[in-house]
Structure 1
Amino acid sequence: MTTMLSVSHLSKIYEGGFTALKDINLDIRRGEIFALLGPNGAGKTTLISIICGLVNASAGKVTVGGHDIVDDYRAARSLIGLVPQELTTDAFETVFSAVSFSRGLFGKAPDPAYIEKVLRSLSLWDKRNNKIMTLSGGMKRRLLIAKALSHEPRMLFLDEPTAGVDVELRRDMWNLVRGLREDGVTILLTTHYIEEAEEMADRIGVIRKGEIILVENKATLMHQLGKKQLTVHLQTPLDAVPESLAAYALERGEDGHALTYTYDTEREHPGITDLLADLNAAGIGFKDVNTTQSSLEDIFVSLVKK
């Protein structure tokens, strides 16, 4: 796939010497969903703001669709749709007029049929004549997306798009984002909801203290850094793990009723059948077993701590 967004050696240093971004290098492929994860203050919003022309970089270069965001900013900006965290528009405007106005800001000719399509896709058509001040929080969040899509962008930035919205609306937005990708729109998503990235993203980047510490395909990341655990529930409690089982590095539960075997998915370890056979050989009876695997949230927390 061709590159839609290219960020090269990007840095941002604010007055007073605070470094918000440090030598960021990132390429995002056309038509993919890229999730950027990081704790508060990591630099996610600063990065998006620079790409979208809201903040000036201290150093580095950014191109969108091959257009430099400084030297060819009109062409670059016309390809970008931004869904910010907060709505800052005229509360007395109607939904339809607000979205139509956003389209006009990019020099696009009026297209009521397209605006209708966008509003219907976001379940806002019935609210088209309502003033923005009368909308619920969830409807205002939908309106932000409608405004960002008004000029038919080819790259969409979603900055915490589902923060504070209910589960049903979150699912609706996920479906909308998938539909946009099917239409060839490239999407960069920042989120605190790790399950959102796990559900939708093709690739995942992790940013910490202004630096990208990892970029990887989601499946590869889960495979390389994920861990599996086998928990064996015992018939009678153990006071200690026998020496004959030392190779498994088993963890004994507080009450001694369970043993947990942790292994990396990428490395070779004695198999589960070997463990069960050795338990039998040691005279340790068990009544149940279950396995669990690391979630993306577990991996993210581990990476940020390191």
Structure 2
Amino acid sequence: MQSHPNQAHILTVDVEDYFQVSAFENVIARSEWDSLEHRVEKNTHRILDLFDKQNAKATFFVLGWVAERYPNVVKRIVNDGHELASHGYGHQRLTKLNQKEAQQDIEKSKHILEDISSTEVIGYRAPSFSINNSNTWVYQILKELGFQYSSSTYPINHDLYGEPSWPRQAYLTKENILEIPASTLNVANRNFPIAGGGYYRLLPYWLNKQAISRYVKAESVPYMFYFHPWEIDPEQPKFSQASLKSKFRHYTNLSNMESKIEKLLSSYHWQTVKAYYASDSVSTNSVAGCYCD
């Protein structure tokens, strides 16, 4: 079954500030975070204004660290009709945490988000898509904490994340957690990243749009897009001590990103993760079955 051209696709935002990205984890100490200029509140409100203008609904994967400091952002996300989900607490890649540390990070974030919003949080996205073959035990933690789905894998080759052999479409883990991978385009048995973020910012709009259109025609499930609030903020402070590769990835085309997102929002209808994957028909039509290692 192919996607209908008018089908709503899935819009997601990973709510973190510019200094919390994995590329800067060896440049900026966590102890410095509170002393730096915070821009996530303003940028997230800007995104919410943009979504309201375009009548787009999204899932916001919010860091517990951000929610603690800016509860008004969390409340507005919910009040505007978007889905609130967890991005963990401190943006530490799960590949760098042991099971106890991961459990504490994920549980802390869930409690903070639920206390602020008075809503149940059922979705989780690991920082930097950091669930892979080394830490599938995370799914048991998610089950015990009451999560229903995860969007924490990216089946591509990348220096910070990725398991290219893993499924490209949503599947149930043996723990009964629905894992929803970031969208990829499969060409000649190779997966190409098309889900957004830096790839969307770095590449020209026409190329992104062409890849997304090809995915929509070929796949039976909605396309899923993601980006971060700092990606629409060209005025953010710069870290000169970062590596050339990190600076290129992080700072290139920041001034163009908002207009590119506006184009994408106007090209498709957008919904939350929950709106699609919690529907009654998904279990038979859109989930690839149990993927057990």
TM-score between the two structures when normalised by the length of structure 2: 0.30
Q: TM-score, normalised by structure 1?
A: 0.29
Greater per-residue strand proportion: 1
Q: Which structure would you say has the larger RCO, counting Cα contacts within 8 Å and 6 or more residues apart? A: 2
**Greater helix content:** 2
